[in-house]
Amino acid sequence: MTRLVPQRAGLLWCTVLFVAGLAGITAINALPGGVDLPRAVTGLHDPSPTDTNALHTAIFAGGCFWGMESVFEHVRGVEDVVSGYIGGRSETATYSYVSEGKTGHAQAIRIAFNPGVISYTDLLQIFFSVAHDPTQLDRQGPDIGRQYRSAIFAVSPEQARLAGAYIDQLDASAVFHRSIATTVIPALPFHVAETLHQNYAARFPANLYVRMYDAPLVEALESRFAERYRPRSVRLTSNR
């Protein structure tokens, strides 16, 4: 079994799959550059927050968590983003186990956001349009396996309703020309990933995988959501 050691060895699985991608894996349908999606779900709106100082939580999965994290840590109104594992047992919530694709876990991110600044439907729009390709089943670009599935782990019935309605709207509009593969399920225990994987893209911008697959996602965020874009990673700003 592979164990995490310093940075270079810690890249094992994402780097191996990156090389596989260069050998001919189908390119991501919607990325880089993203797609134009509705600004909000038609006829649906987030409930007004009763306490605008209280942070809310969103949990998304969509491929290698480095890229997902790199997008949302640049979104205004997001106060923290943590990479982790969700969907399996606590004893298998490690990078080496999850990378085998047999644990039930997905690589995911947990977002703490201020609903007085950005709504959950705004986060959904970014998730579906620039953070990943939601039409890919059990993979994301060069990363293949159930651990890279597209999923929304709703922390409330309202989040589940909004996410489901958004997916229905996307499928009906055929904006992606393929069905949405994203699943929506109630949130399960979230296990924080190893320190090496936290804020990875911001700390290692010269890494080949980051340059090829993660940096374009952030560029798409800046291009399509300039009003939402924060130039500096929230976790670098806060020293987390």
pTM: 0.84
- pLDDT at 133 > cutoff 60: yes
CA distances in angstroms from 174 to 52, 53, 168, listed in the order given: 35, 37, 10
Half-sphere exposure for 218 (CA within 13 Å, toward CB): 22
On the 0-12 / 13-18 / 19+ scale of CB atoms within 10 A, 156 is: middle
* Structural domain spans, the chain: 52-232
Annotated catalytic residues are 64
Residues 122 and 120: their CA atoms lie apart, in Å, by 5
Rg (CA), the chain: 17
pLDDT at 5: 34
CA–CA gap between residue 197 and residue 67 (Å, rounded): 11
**180-230 confidence digits (pLDDT tens):** 999 999 999 999 999 999 999 999 999 999 999 999 999 999 999 999 999
17: confidence class by pLDDT, cuts 50, 70, 90: very low
pLDDT above 90 coverage of the chain, percent = 71
User: Of 197, 189, 183, which Cα lies nearest the Cα of 70?
Assistant: 197
Give the CATH number of domain 52-232; options: 3.30.70.1140, 3.30.1060.10, 3.30.420.240, 3.30.565.10: 3.30.1060.10
